[in-house]
Amino acid sequence: MAQQISSSTTVTARDVIKSARGTPTSDGAGVKLTRVIGTPHVKNVGPFLMLDEFRSDEPQDYLAGFPDHPHRGFETFTYMLAGKFRHRDNKGHEGVLGPGGGQWMTAGRGIVHSEMPEQEEGLVWGFQLWINLPASEKMKPADYRDLQPSDIPTATLPGGATARVVSGRVGDVVGPIAERKTAPLFVEVQIPAGGEAVIPVPRGHEAFVYPFEGGVSIGERALARGELALLGEGDEVRLRAAGDAVRALVIAGKPLGEPVVQYGPFVMNTNEQIKEAIRDFQRGEF
Ligand code: CO
């Protein structure tokens, strides 16, 4: 009996089951970026359809920005580390995303927006993550939430590491993004040189880690900066800064288990719904 109780309460660390480097590409009107998820090597991870890292201090890499373009059927989260982007959309929303802040946008049934650099020189660095919506919510009204740096709470972990929690929870610290069907966990973890961090990841979530400053070790696996690690099942992920200090994204979500039919910025469940999305967009019904 005692054994049963102890085995049912055992906490399992998630291991790395696959690692991959991103693919250099460009998007928008010619912004250079690295596609980490949404490539032939790593298509989707749970509800996550795409992860891009954009990082350049060469204005010609980002000045063209992302002029007006549509989205339907999913959510985007843009997380800024350096530089500024101005968002504007056809619902009358406008805002500037700056370092340490971001924007969670629910495209729902449709939105047309632009994301343009708010600077002509200097470093621009950040991420855009695409999160799928369940079939039942793909046609809900568009919505968005701008996050200032102070909107994102920080959890202090044993051993000197910290975790900024955008979505989901780390201990008692809960991110500002409201609970949803995919139950996304989006955490930026910062670990001092030689330190460790343990981030709880709910069982059943598909999860990955992306170190973007310094290399990180998970179990026996050492990952370089820019090396995506897909995690196996478990209750938590244990990260170690074996060399320099580390900054990494820890992201996880509940898989939807529904068909994904993607055509550029439209992500639906059937081909018919994609045709409908194109038709609605062309008729100006976004
Ligand atoms: Co967009």
Say which amino acid occupies 125.
Answer: W
Bridge partner list, 187: 165, 250
Q: What's the whole-model pTM score?
A: 0.95
- State the DSSP code for 183: -
- State the DSSP code for 158: T
Task: State residue 111's pLDDT score.
Answer: 96
The pLDDT confidence band at residue 8, using thresholds 50, 70 and 90, is low
The three state secondary structure string of 90-132 is CCCCEEEECCCCEEEEECCCCEEEEEEECCCCCCEEEEEEEEE
Q: Do 259 and 270 meet the contact criterion of CB atoms below 8 Å apart? A: yes
**Residue 9 pLDDT exceeds 80:** no
CATH architecture of 3-282: Sandwich (2.60)
Alpha carbon of 259 to ligand 1 centroid (Å): 22
CB atoms within 10 A of CB 144: 18
Report the pLDDT averaged over residues 10-24.
96
Question: How far does the chain reach from its first CA to its final CA, in angstroms?
Answer: 59
Alpha carbon of 8 to ligand 1 centroid (Å): 44
- pLDDT tens-digit profile of 182-218? 999 999 999 999 999 999 999 999 999 999 999 999 9
Alpha carbon of 141 to ligand 1 centroid (Å): 16
Question: Which of helix, strand or coil describes residue 262?
Answer: strand
CA distance 279 to 245: 50
Domain boundaries, the chain: 3-282
- pLDDT tens-digit profile of 65-110? 999 999 999 999 999 999 999 999 999 999 999 999 999 999 999 9
Alpha carbon of 216 to ligand 1 centroid (Å): 30
